[in-house]
């Protein structure tokens, strides 16, 4: 059986109403609330069909209908109109993230916060994946006699710091010398650049400080490739508590626990490349504890290359169109900020 136009309209009404009220809705209420020009009995028949097809379900035998995951999926895939944020809304969003956007941690934190504020759901943002960036600068700063801070500047303004403990103290001049060699040698390098040959050549350039190369490259590569070093920023976790579907404490606790694990979050919102916004609904979700949630996620990027992810987590009864448009706006904003920071090509 195919969905005829009236069935689609009714499904639409059910979904919209349920997103707004979180209450099961019955045929009579639909007939009254929305004007289809048919009686409740007709709607009842259609709803019976819709249920048989799996788009809606009845929580209890004698109660109204509620959209199923399949229903949301159909809604999202074929019925939902995607709208972009209008000028004013985009400007407002930009305003929200107006501080020191030159520091990546600030930018990420504020993005997560703004997104949570605008959607009223929980948001997650991952820092740019370093293995896709290029090193722009690397410098050593003395912390104390035996500890050196490695400052790593990459494309897309990601600044990472690591500390290194050394046996032999190094003075300002010595660190400067090493910094200069490393900064110039590594500039433009990416993860793949660190071949044995490359390292050897840099080691030569370092002269008597050649012994420093190994620990530094070790620390840098470790930072670049290790996923556990990717910072994840969450915001609005408490927003979830206001939804009636999570008013059961145990359920709420389970979800909050799941959202507390960095690894879970990363796997949750990371996605393959591609421009599009991806929507994961309820049971489609791989994280078992979040089977009552939907996730809407997208990648931000620089020059077509995906850098990191940004996602919104809410109940399956989510305001999909709104979140999609806000998310798109947010990605646009990050991309713009990162792009402004990109080294300009010589004319």
Distance CA(314)–CA(260), nearest Å, equals 15
Rounded to a whole number of angstroms, the minimum distance from the CB of residue 105 to DNA is: 45
| Least Cβ distance, residue 120 to DNA (angstroms) | 25
Sign of CA pseudo-dihedral 254, 255, 261, 263: positive
Q: Is 341 in the site for a second copy (CB under 8 A)?
A: yes
DSSP letter, residue 121 = S
Cβ closer to DNA: 7 or 157?
Answer: 7
Q: What is the C-alpha separation between 218 and 197, in angstroms, rounded?
A: 15
Smallest gap, in angstroms, from Cβ of residue 146 to a second copy? 10
User: Taking a C-beta distance cutoff of 8 angstroms, is the pair 310, 298 a contact?
Assistant: yes
Radius of gyration of the chain, Cα coordinates, nearest whole angstrom:
26
Stretch that binds a second copy, among 15-23, 25-33, 121-129, 138-146 (CB under 8 A): 138-146
- Interaction pattern, residues 147-186, with a second copy; x per rule: CB under 8 A: x-x-x-x---x-x-xxx-x------x---x--xx--xx--
Distance separating the N- and C-terminal Cα atoms of the chain? 61
109 touching a second copy, by CB under 8 A: no
Among 8, 53, 80, 141, binds a second copy (CB under 8 A): 141
Site of interaction with DNA (CB under 7 A): 24-29, 37-42, 44-45, 47-48, 51, 58, 60-65
Cβ–Cβ < 8 Å for 23, 30: no
Q: Please choose which of DNA, a second copy, none residue 42 contacts, taking the beta carbon within 5 to 8 angstroms, the exact cut-off set by kind.
A: DNA
Q: Does 189 bind a second copy (CB under 8 A)?
A: no
Q: Which is nearer to DNA, 31 or 280 (CB)?
A: 31
DSSP symbol at 188: T
In the complex, least distance from residue 52 CB atom to DNA, rounded to whole angstroms: 9
- In a 3-state reduction of DSSP, which class is residue 36? coil
Query: Which CB, 60 or 344, lies closer to DNA?
Result: 60
Nearest alpha-carbon partner for 323 in 139, 151, 122, 186: 122
Q: Is 256 a residue that touches a second copy (CB under 8 A)? A: yes
SS3 162: strand
3-state secondary structure of 62: coil
Q: Report how many helices (DSSP H) and strands (DSSP E) the chain contains, helices first.
A: 12, 10
Binding residues (CB under 8 A) for a second copy: these are: 100, 102-103, 136-137, 139, 141-145, 147, 149, 151, 153, 157, 159, 161-163, 165, 172, 176, 179-180, 183-184, 238, 241-242, 247, 249, 252-253, 256-257, 260, 341, 343
């Amino acid at each position: 059986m195919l969905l005829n136009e009236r069935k689609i309209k009714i499904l639409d009404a059910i979904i919209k109403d349920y997103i707004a009220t979180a209450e099961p809705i019955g045929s009579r209420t639909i007939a009254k609330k929305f004007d289809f020009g048919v009686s409740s009995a007709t709607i009842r028949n259609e709803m019976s069909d819709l249920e048989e097809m799996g788009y809606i379900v009845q929580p209890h035998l004698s109660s109204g209908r509620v959209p199923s995951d399949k229903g949301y999926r159909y809604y999202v895939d074929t019925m939902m109109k995607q709208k972009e944020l209008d000028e004013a809304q985009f400007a407002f969003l930009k305003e929200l993230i107006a501080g020191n956007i030159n520091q990546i941690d600030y930018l990420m934190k504020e993005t997560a916060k703004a997104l949570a504020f605008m959607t009223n759901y929980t948001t997650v943002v991952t820092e740019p994946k370093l293995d896709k960036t290029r090193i722009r600068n690397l410098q050593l700063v003395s912390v104390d006699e035996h500890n050196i801070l490695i400052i790593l500047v990459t494309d897309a303004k990601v600044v990472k710091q690591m500390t290194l403990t050394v046996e032999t103290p190094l003075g300002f001049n010595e660190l400067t010398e090493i910094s200069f060699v490393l900064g110039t040698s590594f500039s433009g390098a990416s993860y793949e650049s660190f071949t044995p040959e490359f390292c050897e050549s840099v080691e030569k350039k370092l002269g008597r400080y050649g012994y420093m190369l190994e620990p530094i490259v070790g620390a840098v590569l470790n930072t670049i490739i290790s996923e556990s070093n990717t910072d994840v920023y969450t915001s609005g976790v408490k927003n979830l508590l206001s939804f009636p579907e999570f008013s059961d404490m145990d359920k709420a606790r389970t979800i909050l626990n799941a959202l507390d694990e960095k690894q879970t979050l990363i796997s949750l919102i990371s996605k393959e490349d591609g421009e599009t916004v991806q929507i994961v609904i309820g049971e489609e979700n791989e994280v078992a504890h979040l089977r009552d949630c939907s996730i809407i996620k997208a990648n931000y990027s620089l020059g077509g290359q995906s850098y990191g992810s940004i996602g919104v987590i809410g109940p399956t009864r989510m305001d999909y169109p709104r979140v999609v448009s806000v998310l798109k706006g947010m990605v646009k904003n990050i991309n713009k900020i990162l792009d402004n920071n990109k080294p300009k090509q010589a004319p």
